[in-house]
Each structure stands twice: as structure tokens, then as C-alpha cells.
Amino acid sequence: MNENRTNMKKGAAILFTIFALLFFVLFARFLFIQISGKADGHSLKNEALQKYLRTDVLEANRGTIYDQHGTVIAEDTTSFTLAAILDPSMTTNPKNPKHVTDPEKTAEVLAKYIDMEKGDIEKQLKKKGLFQVEFGKYGRDLSNKVKKEIEEEKLPGIFFLRDSKRFYPNGKFASHLVGFVQKLEEKKGNQVVQRIIGQMGIEKTYEDYLRGTNGKIQYKSDLWGYLLQDKKQMIQEPDDGDNIYLTIDTKIQTFMEDALNEVEKQYKPGKAFALVADAKTGEILAMGQRPSFHPDTRVGLGENWSNDLVEYSFEPGSTMKIFTLAAAIEEGVFHPNEKYKSGRYKVGSESIRDHNGGEGWGDITYLEGVQRSSNVAMANLLEKMSPDVFRQYLDDFHFGQKTGIQLPNEAKGVILYNWPLEQVTTAFGQGTTTTPMQLVQAATAIANDGKMMRPFIIDRIVDDKTNKAIVNNKPEKVGEPISKETAEQAREVLKTVTTAEHGTGQIYQIQGYEVAGKTGTAQMPNPQGGYLQGANNYIFSFLGMAPAKDPQLIVYAAVAQPKLDGEAGSVPVSKIFNPVMRNSLQYLNIKPKQTPTAKTIKLKDFKNERTTEAVKELKANKIQPIVIGTGKEVAGQSPEADSPLLQGEKVILQTDGTATMPDMENWSLRDVMKAANLVGLKVSYTGEGYVVGQNIKPGASLKNGQKLILKLMKQKEKALLEQKEKERQKEEAEKAKKEIEASAETAEKKEAEENLETQEE
């Protein structure tokens, strides 16, 4: 019994000692923590601070891209992301629910505002075990207007997360030049951070300038993350990106976009692109291409991420003849009135042909050769100045070199000039390749009295804080390949390409302005070798400047593989060049050429006068007399006496005796009605423009009340039809020639076989 009691006391003593030691250890630990403020090497003060210290990112705004006048092309705007709370525990007052209570009704309402089916929205809202859900790309980048409209529906559990997005207010507008941005996720430690990164064009190339530096805000909060009263916030302000001003003029760019849209819609080309430059400074005022895309949605981007104006090099075709001509003038070997034999030019065993199948136009002047875009004319000029001399001019015009426009992936082209045939073909734009930007740079020497200007697209880059320019580009002369006198003479010659009877560029005439330029038709290489065949497989182009005497603008337009319906390849190109050049000149207030005012004459009464005297007097006053009939005296006239007339107008004189039908080809409808009213004809017509056909043959006798049926056509349409007819006749002649040659060859073969049989016998 006593022994048990003793054991119990020992046990109790041991337990007491153990608990005392534990208490001492705990107390010592507590005392240590209290004094040092540390536990396991961690500062408890810092741990507590971190628990209640919140850090939020203050996003920097990306720099804005403007045109040269300060019109926004790309900017950051506030956007919103739609989200829904599904957790019922968020609702403490059933009368004011904070979560989605009716998924079906909520889905029905939201489907009116976002591009998502009601059923898909409802499926999202019925997901189990989630605190909140979002709606992917359909619920992102919502405008403030859409946000407010949804908020007015007062849907329980629906809220918005504030965000920013890149906004391109003009839509499809110089898209390959400006580029676009994309939100990319980056992992930093345990955090996933979203960053907006430029993916193309200016947005990518000038990322370092446009991208800002995010700031941050730190503050002490309560358990739920709310800012504690009287607690200081620690703010590190964000540094916004710098602003970029392009040389692009929004108005001129819009002219170009409209024209490209029209050509794309009507002709569905493989490619189309255009470029407008200030002829004096090299500033790029507009540049665009098709196919293109919308930078907000990237719809239409496809596989072509290239800016064709600087990255696409191709054989330029006859636009290269501008620079061959300029070199020949500078070397003193171009004599406009000197004649040469057109058609073919021998280079070793090869033969260079003019574009009409090598038929040519006989012995013509070099001026007419330029107007007709003769390859043989260029070959002769190359021979006169020597290939080595022209090779130096290619370098002087900076072909085969990058322009340095500071856009990504600029191509430099290839000068193919090793063999005599390559040297000749380069002179008229085949073999050697260039970019549109190189052609425009070289053209500034022609337009700017010999001074060649480097093209540039960045006007200035401005610091967002100081508003001072940190990059400020100025016009830069990069060479002077020709003299002022040569440039002036070249422009005079190139002006005739659009005005002369045989000029290939007549379709590029612009009323009120003289245009100097050159057409181009370039073959497209076949990936399997050689060139693609067929009427549509060309790059049709025009490089022009206006006003021709003192050019202010250079416009290059090109259309590759258009779907032509019997039209010439120059037609779709003219639908870009003409409206862009005309509208741009008018917008820049470049006044059209003053045309001399024609002298007005009051018409006298010629009735009962001798016909020959009336005709003589009208011609003396530069009025065009049209005599109807074979009588010796004038019986009637139109217009009536005392009518005011301009020099060059027609006056119809009806003689006594039988009236006869005049040849009305190229008459205006107004002149037709003068004659018809005078002799009593009833007129009907189809089309518009000028007379190209009449049912009554010239010289036929006319009766009062007789019906005259006319066909009218515009001059440009007529010229195109004539060109098409010439091409048809040429093809038929070639076909007939080949048939004759084949027939002769067959006959010779048959005769040889007969002779052989005779010899054998």
C-alpha cells in the first residue's frame, strides 16, 4: 500500500517536472518572440505587414499614333470585361441578391449585347462549384456604351472588370503600315502578367517608344482588402509610352483606301497597292494595299503579313524606262526627233521585241518610242550610252539598295546585269527587281529637279511628359543622279506619254492638271520556272507625278492579276491613280492649270449668201462649218444668227437643193441636234459621249422626218476598244503567219519526200 503511494508520488513528480519544463520552453519561446519579433528566422512584423499590405498595378498607357496633323490613328481606350458571380454565399440580403439568381433570364438579356448564343451563356451561368465566370472573347473589350446598357438591365450578379484596349478608329486604314497589338501572358514568379505587345508594322518596330512602364500602388488594408482609414498609400506613377506622329495624311490615305476598296471589289486582284509621296520632301502621305485587314479584329489578315510597298520586290516593267530615259538625256544621247527602226533588236542569238509581238511601228522617232513604250527604243539608248555607264546610273538612283525608310524587313531588290541580255532587259524593266518604295525614291529626282529625297514615314516622336520631340525627322537629300535640266526635259517627254496620240498613258489624264509618268506591264514569275501565261498574269502599274511642270505629288499604283473582262490592264490602275491624284491635288489646294479662254464670236446671218463665201468666213473666225447639201447658196443655218459661239464650235449650213447626210463620227450630241433640227430628222441614240456609229451613211440624201439612229461612246471607252481591236488583229495576223509557215513547212516536207521517192525509183 505504502509502496504504491510512493510510486504515485514519484510519477506525479515526474509529470510535474515535464509540464514545468514544457511551460518554461513555451514561456521562453514566447519571451524570445516578444523581444526579438522573429520566429524561425522570419520577421513577424513583416509577415503581418505583407498579409495586410496590398499591391496593385497601375497600367501605363501605350503611346498614341497620330497622322501628321494630329488625327488619331491608334490609341489606348478604356474597355470592360463582363463577369458573373455564381456563389450564393455572396448574397446576404435576399431582396438585394449579389449573385446570378435566374440563369435563363440573365442569358436571354446578355445575348442581346454580346455575340454569344443564349444557350452558351446559360451553360456558363449554370456551372457548379465556381465563384465567378467570364465569357471569353465575347465578353471582353466591351465599350462604355455597352456596359451602361447592360447595367440598366439591373441583372443580379453581373459586374464588369475595367481594362484597356488598343483602338483603331479608322478601321481598315494603312493596316500593314500601322500594324496591331496583342495581349500576351508572361509568367513572373508565381504571377501571370498580361502585356500588350506590338505584333506588326509601326506598333512592332517602335515598341520601345510606344510601350510605357507600369507603376504600382501599395496600401494597408483590412482582412477583406479595403483601405484602412488614415493609412498612407505608396504610389509609383506609371510612365506612359511616347507618342508617334506619322507623315501620313488621313485625308489622302482615305482617298487611297476608297480607291483600293473599289478596285478590290470590282476586279478581285491577287494584289493591289499604292503609294503617295511629297515630291519635294520624300514624306509618305499615304500607302495601302489589298488584301488588307481590320487591326481591331485582324479579320482579313490571312497569311500576308508583309508590307508590300517595302517588302515586295518584283520586276517593275516599263516604269523603269523613266530612269533609262533620264540617263540617256543626261548622257546627251536622247534626241527626240531622231528615228530608229522599231520592232526587234538583236542581242547575240536572242531577239528583243516590242510589245506588239515584235511587229513594231516602222521607223519612228525616239520621242514616239517613249510614248509607245518601245523596248527597242530603250535597247538602242542603252547601246548609245553603253551598259557600263547605265549601270552607274542604277547605283546613282539607288536601285539594289534599301531606301532606309525604317520599316521592318525592307527588301533591296536585285540588279540582274551580268550578261548583255540582262543589261538590255534591265533597261526596260525585266529581270532586275525593285520595290515600290525604291521606284518612288528614284522618281523624286525626276520630280525635284535632280535632287533625290529619302522617303520617310515617321515625322516625329514626342515624349508624353514634356511634349518635346525626342525624334524629329527632316527631309534628306540622298543623291543627285541627274541635273535640273535633264529632270525638266524628262518631265516634258513623260508628259507626252499621257497626252500624245500614241501615248500608252492617255487613260491617266486628269482634267485641269498635266500628268507626267510612265505605264508598266510586268510579267509575273512562275514558281516552276519562266513566267506565268495569260492576259491577267501581269502586274499593271503607273508611276506618275503632277503638276508636270513643277510636281508636288508622286503617286505609284499597281494591280496584280486583276480579273479583267475584256478591259485593258491599265483600267483598274487608273481607278486608283486618277481619283487619288486628283483628290489629293485639290485637297492640298494645288490649283489646276489655267486654260486660255476661247474667243466668243457673234454669229452673222448667212442665209442667201454663197456657200463658199460663208465657209471661208467661218473658217477665218476659227469656226468649223458643216455643209449639208450640194447647193451654191445657204438656205438655213444652225445656230441662228446673233448666237454667241466659241472658237472651234460647229455651225451647220444647209444649202438649197437636196440635203445630204454628214459624217457624224466623233460629234457631240449637241452638234447632232443642231443638224437634226435644221433638216427635220428624228434622233434616237444609245450610250453616252460621242458618235461612233450612225444608221444613215454619209452623203446619203435626207428626207424631212427621217429617223437617225446613233451609237454614242465615251472617248476612253472608244480608245480601249480600238486598242482591243488592234490586239485582236495582231493575234489574227500572228495566227495566220504561223499557219502559212506551217503550211509552207508541210509543203516543203511533202516535196522533199516526193523527190526522195523519185530518186529511189
The catalytic residue positions are 318
Residue 568: other Cβ atoms inside 10 A: 20
Pairing assessment for the beta strands 469-472 and 284-290 based on DSSP bridges: unpaired
Question: Using an 8 Å Cβ cutoff, are 545 and 551 in contact?
Answer: yes
Strand segments, DSSP code E, in 135-283 are 158-167, 181-188, 191-198, 215-220, 234-236, 243-246, 271-278
CA angle (134, 135, 136) in 5-degree steps = 105
Residue 174, amino acid? A
Q: What ranges in 296-374 are assigned the alpha helix state H? A: 308-311, 321-330, 366-371
- Give the span between the Cα atoms of 125 and 86, in whole angstroms: 7
Q: Which residues contact 301 (CB under 8 A, 6 or more apart)?
A: 293
Answer whether the bond into residue 592 is a cis peptide, omega within 30°: no
Concatenated DSSP letters of 127-155: -SS-SEEE-GGGGSSB-HHHHHHHHHT--
**DSSP three-state, residue 492:** helix
- Give the span between the Cα atoms of 442 and 477, in whole angstroms: 11
Q: Give, in order, the Cα–Cα distances in Å from 554 to each of 188, 313, 491.
A: 50, 19, 12
Q: Which residues contact 342 (CB under 8 A, 6 or more apart)?
A: 354, 360, 361, 362, 363, 364, 369, 372, 374, 376, 377
The position carrying cell 535597247 is 379
**DSSP three-state, residue 415:** coil
- Give the span between the Cα atoms of 48 and 712, in whole angstroms: 93
Question: Using an 8 Å Cβ cutoff, are 427 and 397 in contact?
Answer: no
Residues paired with 563 in a beta bridge: none
**DSSP three-state, residue 300:** coil
Q: Grid coordinates representing 65?
A: 499614333
The position carrying cell 532606309 is 404
Residues paired with 591 in a beta bridge: none
Question: Using an 8 Å Cβ cutoff, are 482 and 271 in contact?
Answer: no
Residue 112: other Cβ atoms inside 10 A: 10
Q: Which residues contact 6 (CB under 8 A, 6 or more apart)?
A: none
- Give the span between the Cα atoms of 606 and 188, in whole angstroms: 99
Question: Using an 8 Å Cβ cutoff, are 193 and 186 in contact?
Answer: yes
Residue 48, amino acid? A
Phi-psi group of 102: left, alpha or beta (phi > 0 → left; psi -120 to 50 → alpha; rest → beta) = beta
- Give the span between the Cα atoms of 393 and 447, in whole angstroms: 17
Residue 47, amino acid? E
- Give the span between the Cα atoms of 173 and 257, in whole angstroms: 7
Pairing assessment for the beta strands 624-628 and 650-655 based on DSSP bridges: parallel
Q: How far apart are the first and last CA of the chain?
A: 159
Residue 207, amino acid? E
